[in-house]
Amino acid sequence: MKTKIYNTLKKPYIVILIMLIAPLFGFIDRNFVFFFGLGIAFTILWSSNFDWSKFGIGQKINRKIVYKSLLLTALFFIGFSIIDPIIEYYLGDFDLSSVEDIRGNLIGYIVIMIIMWIFAAFGEEFLFRGYYMKALAELFGNSNISWVFSAIITSLYFGVSHIYQGVSGVVSVFIWSLTISLLFIKNRQNLLLLVLVHGFSDTIGLTLIYLNKEVFIFEWIQQLI
């Protein structure tokens, strides 16, 4: 049974079908779009007898990967501290209403941090890079060009999935996703590096919101530009 399910879900065109069907669940709840895709990805993982390498998880986390992820997170933070205010200046403010409740709320901050590491850092990277991007690249021929094309398509898809953050959110997430996708292209078996970068980056963002400091950083950068 497992083999039959795996052979069916690994057919080349299935990933496109899943990516087209998933948004329809948004009419019920936007979270269902994510969980539908994640459910399919985990079904493939289960039916492959938990071969994590099929999703780009071929390297274990070690000290070198942690240090590298911290360095990349710092570079991302510096870069997007400049990019995001420019995006806001031209496209309007980010809609952060989905996380506004954590401002000064320690319990809410801790809860959303746990949820973020499980479903955003790991879950989104596993789904969007480990499944969607990797499967699309293989569908398009598995060449370097196909990987870059897949990175662009997946990043657009990922950006639009954050429409609840407004136009600025979509653009910023697209740029962020494309950048981290290019990291995945360089080492296609090191998805856990992306998980750490994603988690550390979101940790900084959520902590600034909790402390109500992100506004001051954005305003300071906007004064410079």
What digits encode the pLDDT tens for the residues 65-114?
Answer: 999 999 999 999 999 988 998 998 899 989 988 888 999 999 999 999 99
Within 8 A by CB and 6+ apart from 97, the residues are none
Q: What is the pLDDT along the chain (225 residues), one digit of tens a residue?
A: 888 999 899 998 999 999 999 999 998 999 999 999 999 999 999 999 999 999 999 999 999 999 999 999 999 999 998 899 899 889 998 998 888 899 999 999 999 999 999 999 999 999 999 999 999 999 999 999 999 999 999 999 999 999 999 999 999 999 999 999 999 999 999 999 999 999 999 999 999 999 987 655 555 444 444
pTM score of the predicted model: 0.92
| Contact present, 207 and 73 (Cβ < 8 Å) | no
| Contact present, 41 and 10 (Cβ < 8 Å) | no
Q: Which of 141, 131, 118 is nearest to 184 (CA)?
A: 131
Query: Can you give the pLDDT at residue 89?
Result: 87
% pLDDT > 90, the chain = 84
Question: What token pair was written down for 155?
Answer: 């990043």
For 126, counting Cβ atoms within 10 Å of its Cβ (0-12 exposed, 13-18 middle, 19+ buried), the class is buried
d(CA 130, CA 75) in angstroms, rounded, equals 23
Question: What token pair was written down for 163?
Answer: 């429409």
1: amino acid identity, one letter: M
Query: Can you give the pLDDT at residue 224?
Result: 45
Query: What is the four-CA torsion angle of 89, 199, 116, 57, rounded to 10 degrees?
Result: 130
